[in-house]
Structure formats: C-alpha cells, structure tokens
A and B are shown apart, each in its own frame.
Chain A
Amino acid sequence: MLEVINLHKKFSNLHVLKGINTEIKKGEVVVVIGPSGSGKSTFLRCLNLLEVPTQGEIIFEGVSITSKKNNINLQRQKMGMVFQQFNLFPHMTVLENITLSPVKVKKMDVQKAREIAIALLKRIGLEDKAKAYPKQLSGGQQQRIAIVRALAMSPDVMLFDEPTSALDPEMVGEVLDVMKNLAKEGMTMVVVTHEMGFAREVGDRVLFMDEGVIAEEGNPEEIFSSPKNERTKAFLGKVL
C-alpha cells in the first residue's frame, strides 16, 4: 500500500537519505531502528511529505504522492502520525483535539465526530478526560490521546516517530499497549523506536537504518538473533 522508490533527502549540503527502497504491505507492522542521526525521522516524515524528498518517488494506495500535481492533504487524511512530543493542541480540550480534523477536513457531522471520539477514548480508558486540556494530563495520557486523534480520521496507515522517547519510564507501557492493540487489529504501522522489546514482539519486519540507507532488513527473529551486517551487530550490541 506504501511503496518507496529510491528516496533521497538533502538538507542543503547534508545528504541524509541516500536511496531508500521498500514496500509496506497492508496490515504490516514495520519497525525502523538505527543509530541517532541515521535518518529514521527524516524517512518517516518523507512518507507523508512533512519533509519533501529531494529525489525519488512515494506511492500510496496507487497514487504517486511525490508527483507535483498531487494534493497531499487527501492522502494525509489516510496517514495518521504520532510524534515524539505528542503535539496535542494546547488551546483545545481533548475532545476538540480529536474532533477538529474529522469535522473541518472530512466535513463530518459534529455529533457523529463526538461519538467516534468518545468511543475511541473509551477504548483507551480516558473518556473521563474528554473535557480536560492537554497540560492537565500526564505524558502517557497525552500520547495515547494523540494516537486516538490520528485514529479518529480512520487512517489506513499509522506513522510513529519515537512515540515513547519523551515519556517517563513508568508511562511507556501504557502507550506501547495501545500500539500493540492497534497492531492486533490489523493496522498498518511504521514505527521508529528504540523499544527493542516492542520491535521484537510486534514487528513483522525490522528495518535497520544507518547513514541514510537501509543497511539490513528482515523479520525480528533474523535481525535480533542473527544479524548479518557488522553495523547492525554493533548497534544491537550497544542497545540490547
């Protein structure tokens, strides 16, 4: 459903992505790991064009989203994204955060959007926080709501950029649980993370990125138990 062909990204002189090729299938959970600065975030952000690729093509559900004529707003409705820093809208309640885009972008009926939001909040056990403002919530709660906000658009794929890295350790679990459930329900996911346990347990495929390329990929068993690439070995040696 998401095909990446020879993706390059440069920031002025800095060549960050040097030819990424991969295909993400429907229902697949792809975990992206790699050392800091290897281009993981840049890769993920290119997938919904938050970063505009310097070269290469990205095809989502049959549409070339990198094509000049394409209106990316349409595909972004189908691609949820969760950020390290949550990025909830601080001037809106939880409910408004979740319903804004369905109402303004999809022109959904307000009542309908609310019902969906409440149903989603119930699933993560935060329906009592509907009227709260983001800053009244813990980091873990905020991130779960950020996930729900993206889900309210009923996306076909969810992109996660280190969703637990800004959290206190005791809150990591609750966010990972929501993501695991999502994976179980068959959501297509691309997850950049340092949580190797999650990668192992939930990932269908692991991409190891280093210096702007996919240095090695395979199922979690292969990557974690018998990595072939020297750099993968070195990296896993440090983080495991």
Chain B
Amino acid sequence: MSTFIGMRSEVSLVQWMSDGASDHPGPDAVRGFVVAAKAGDVAAFGYIVELHESRVFRTARAILGSDSDAEDAVQEVFVRAYRYLARFDESRELAPWLYRITANVCRDLAKNRRRHHGVSIESLHLASSQSGPFESLARQEQRELIREAIARLPYKEGAAITLRDLEGLTTREVAKALGTTEATVRSQISSARAKLRKYILRIERRTS
C-alpha cells in the first residue's frame, strides 16, 4: 500500500516523517528541494516556500510594519526566488540568498509605502497610556511600540537592525543580505539602536 516508487520528494518525505512535529528538514533535504525545483518541480518549490515563508514574513513584517505589506513582500520574494533559482548555487545555503531578496523587495516596497505614510520615529505619536518605565509596560504593548518604531526607521537602518537583532544574523551576514560592507552595517545598527533607545526614553519620560 505504501510503496513510494518514483516520488520526487522522497528525501523530504522521509525527513518529515522521521522528524515528527518538526517542520525543518535538514540542509541536505533542502538542497534536494532546490535541485528538484531548478529542474522544474513546482511541488519542491512549494516546500521551499513552506520552509522559509515564516522567516521571510517575520523579516518583512518588521521592516515594513504591516501584515499586508509583509504578505505582499513574501509573495514577491518567492516569485523572484523562483525566477532566479537557476542562478542559485545549491551547494550554498538558501537562507542568506532569500534574506538578500527579502531586503531588496522590502526596499522597493518601503519606497512606495513611506512616500504615502512618512512619519519618522522621532515624531511618532505616543498614546497617553504609553508612559512609565518601558519594562513596566505590558509585554504586548512593548512589542507594539517597538514594531511601530522599527518600521519608522530609515529603510536601511530598519533592515539592518531587523536582520541583526531580530533574525540574529552576524554583521557579515547582514552586510551580504544588504549588499554593503560590515562597517556600514555597524554604523546602521548603531544609529538604529540609538534612535530606539531615545524613543524608549521618550516613552519613559512622559510620566515625569
């Protein structure tokens, strides 16, 4: 009954089943998906999307600041990834390449978005309930405030801090994703952290 003869995604299937609840196949399985997708296997590409859409969404959501923009970004990232997949060297890791595409897509979307809703982090309005020591705020409220603030950073700073402090990439990996140097990335994340710190202090000062 269960004869798996001639299936394209055999590697991934075995991986999936042996992992139980895990939704992360190993690097070899991912490489298998890439090879299959390059050969035109759309189901294999579907796996690739499934495996990476969470982190692409998370990154785009942080940089762009809204679910709907992030959704648009995720779609565009994977459409571009598929289009350029033939150029991707499957001996390399897929995630850094996808981060790079994500950064490019977010940059394009951010241009449009900011043209329409350009409010800088410095002039971000704080509701009256958002006051007192930052750490005393409810966790959900902290998160909302920081999300809003990151999305109001200049694109490059927002992208750099998201990749570094939210996604946990090294400065070298961030530099690769953003197509820049490590020195530039350090300057961007330093500037972003300084702005976020001032923003948090501004929240705290509202009571005094």
A and B: interacting chains: no
Contacts from B to A (Cβ < 8 Å): none
